[in-house]
Chain A
Amino acid sequence: MAIDQDTLRHMSEASVSVELETQDMTLNIGPQHPSTHGVLRLVATVDGERVFGVRPVIGYMHRGYEKLSEVRTYPQITALINRIDWVSGYANEVPFIVAAERLMELEVPERAQFIRLILTEMARISSHMVFMASYPLELGAATPLFFALRERERLLDLLEGVTGGRFHPNFNRIGGVKPNAGAGPTQKKTPQDLPAGFFEETREAMERIRHAADQLEDLIAGNEIIRARTKGIGVIPPEVAVAYGLSGPNLRASGVGFDLRKTENYLPYHLFDFDIPTGENGDCYDRWWVRLQEIRQSCRIIEQAIDGVPEGPLQAKVPKVIKVPAGEVYVRAENPKGEMGYYLVSDGGQGPYRLKIRSASFSNISVLPWALENVLVPDIIAIMGSLDFVLGDVDR
């Protein structure tokens, strides 16, 4: 069949002018979903694999801790606030106790402060180890989970040895820390507080943690697929991070070297030598990397601290019935997830008049709608996971 020239030209110039008409789909991720760390719900608008925007819906785990603490006495509240960020329960207690102590103008013995510091850093390592375990899992690699959790278990054993609890130690007392069971009166000169052999075991554990950190770095940073999945994904520039109130490792991954351990004095961090690792690009990889470095830095702090634990009493002299003088105070601390703050208002009674809890994860996930604009569906999980939040810390 012969085709005349005009038809041929027409055919060659023809272009597809019909736009394929597509409809956006609303994808409801959560509250029950394998990688939303609990009951976070994300309402995503997607077109195939592309995500236009995400609206986080929170509140499925609201337990009303702020209100609950208004009807409890100060010693009772530590048991509650343990459960805010449950993967680092110990670290939640400290700023609250410090807030109460500030109002009471108590002088906390050095030894108690050192023990608090060591346990806080242990809580930080165990929290970061959970991240090291869960983040590769969200990217599809199941095995690092077992390596990281094994190391965390050893730390939890140490924590349990001192406090009696793995997750919810409830170990701090106003004016100091709890002495071991059957150790006698708390004001004794050298009470039996730490289990026998604690320092040696801790030193050994730090060696193992260092080794595990190297192992995890090999396993994850050395993996080409992980790098492809995390490098340049979910970039949060420093100004955005600051504007959304990000804190902790997420803020430092964006290149802002802000660490409350250096600026606040809720625990004697100024006595120790440690660095603040910061990221360069603020992407998912940097957020992972900063946490890995923080594990190493925490090891350094703990090793210095156990060398210098002073002898002395565990508790300051406190009345039998604790009443906090009227006044208000805000104490904030560098928790594993970021800034944890307690704004305590007292009217002179046995319990707080009002307790405002500023939790890290709540502010950290506020960046999600910004960070999840125009990404791909797998990136939702990669970015969300890299922020390392805990739902108890979001909803309280």
Chain B
Amino acid sequence: MDVIVDLFSNFWVALLGKILLVALMIPLVGMVIGFAEMKLSAKMQNRVGPYFAGGRWGWAQLIADGVKFFQKEDLIPADADRPVFKTAPIWVLVGTVALFVVIPFGPDLIFRDLSVGIFYALAISSISTIGVLMAGWSSANKYSLMGGLRAAGQLIAYELPLVLAVVGSVILAGTMSMTGIVEAQIEAGYPYIVVQFVGFGIFMVAALAELTRIPFDMPIAESELVMGYLTEYSGFRFLFFFLAEFANMFTLSAIAVTLFLGGYWLPGLSETQLAYLGPIILIAKVFVLVFAMIWFRWTFPRFREDQLQTLAWKWLIPLALANILVTATLKVVL
């Protein structure tokens, strides 16, 4: 036991361990959420969903899909900008991996507790969109190009409300560290959604737009742009986008949980209990939000691009600014 502890107190070994852990979490989380999406959508549409793979409930469906993707030919269009086309999925995934770094799974269970945690998270999450834009531009396909440009427009429109929605919680906590925000909520005795419900709502809407999921899936828009920026991708590069979407659902929900729903904390649990149950509590809360996202996807139709911009600039941003104003005023006054 001591040997292992000693081993992990070495910086490089610990770093390697952490990287491996994050790298393993992405496919795991992606598969669990992907499977949940398949089964839940089936439930909502009077279908059975995956059934045969793995014997029971089709639990191995996503594994089978993954194997299938790896077997497929890695097609690259003749006119494509090859290096850009090839690296685009990596950028998408990098943004997702980097987000796992600042999510506190428990009181001491965090890959790196940055003092500017939330700032880092919001900044790094936009890297994915650069990958999307690269994919759209390099595919040499008009549908892909339109999809990529729509994604860029969406990023500009929705990054702002996303950042502004967070400010309320940061003002209340007085820190940008993710653990710090959770601890402030423990100290206050209530999750910040109680007072920051406006911020939470805006954050979730903007997160959906960041994820380009229905009702904001214009960059993909299957019935208009065939598959948007994904049109030309196949095989494991397509799988990267696919995994990144599901893993991003997890990370953005985890950030929302940390900021607004008390993170790994549940009232009435002692410090030691939190240390052990923290990850379970956090993941349970995350899955509630993920369920809501899946629910939206299979219920709503898609907005039009201009309607999305209207929603962002005319509604969400003024609302978020008003929210900041009220929060800051009350913080000073009370």
Contacts and interface: CB of A to CB of B under 8 A. Distances in A.
B258 to A, nearest CB: 30
A145 B223 CA distance: 14
B300 A25 contact: no
Given A138-B223, A225-B303, A377 B146 contact: yes
Nearest to B310: A228
A54 to B, nearest CB: 13
A376 B306 contact: yes
Task: Give the contact-size bracket for chain B.
Answer: 20 to 34
Give the most central of B143, B215, B222, B302: most A CB within 10 Å. Answer: B302
A136 interface: yes
B300 A34 contact: no
B301 A380 contact: no
Interface stretch (B5-13, B42-50, B72-80, B81-89): B42-50
Interface in B189-247: 214-215, 217-218, 221-226
A139 B47 CA distance: 21
Contacts of A136: 301
A137 B300 CA distance: 10
Contact of B307 (A28, A34, A138, A228): A228
B298 interface: yes
Give the most central of A28, A49, A140, A225: most B CB within 10 Å. Answer: A140
Contacts of A146: 45-47
Given A378-B224, A381-B223, A140 B305 contact: no
Given A150-B46, A378-B224, A228 B303 contact: yes
Contacts of B331: none
B226 to A, nearest CB: 6
Nearest to B303: A225
A146 B224 CA distance: 20
Give the most central of A34, A379, A380: most B CB within 10 Å. Answer: A34
B299 interface: yes
A229 B301 contact: yes
Given A141-B299, A225-B303, A34 B45 contact: no
Contact of B301 (A33, A49, A226, A377): A226
A380 B224 contact: yes
A140 B215 contact: yes
Contact of A35 (B150, B214, B224, B306): B224
B142 interface: yes
A225 B226 CA distance: 21
B149 interface: yes
Interface string A113-154: 000000000000000000000001111111101110010000
Contacts of A5: none
B304 interface: yes
Contacts of A7: none
Give the most central of A141, A150, A376, A379: most B CB within 10 Å. Answer: A141
A225 B215 contact: yes
Given A35-B223, A140-B214, A378-B221, A25 B142 contact: yes
A59 interface: no
A48 interface: yes
Contacts of B300: 140-141, 223, 225
Nearest to B297: A142
6 contacts: A138-B223, A139-B223, A225-B301, A376-B306, A379-B304, A380-B224
Shortest 8 CB-CB contacts between residues of A and residues of B: A140-B302, A141-B301, A146-B45, A139-B301, A140-B301, A35-B223, A138-B223, A378-B304
Given A228-B303, A229-B301, 12 more contacts: A25-B142, A27-B146, A34-B222, A35-B223, A49-B150, A140-B222, A140-B301, A143-B41, A143-B44, A143-B299, A225-B301, A378-B218
Interface of B: 41, 44-47, 142-143, 146, 149-150, 214-215, 217-218, 221-226, 298-307
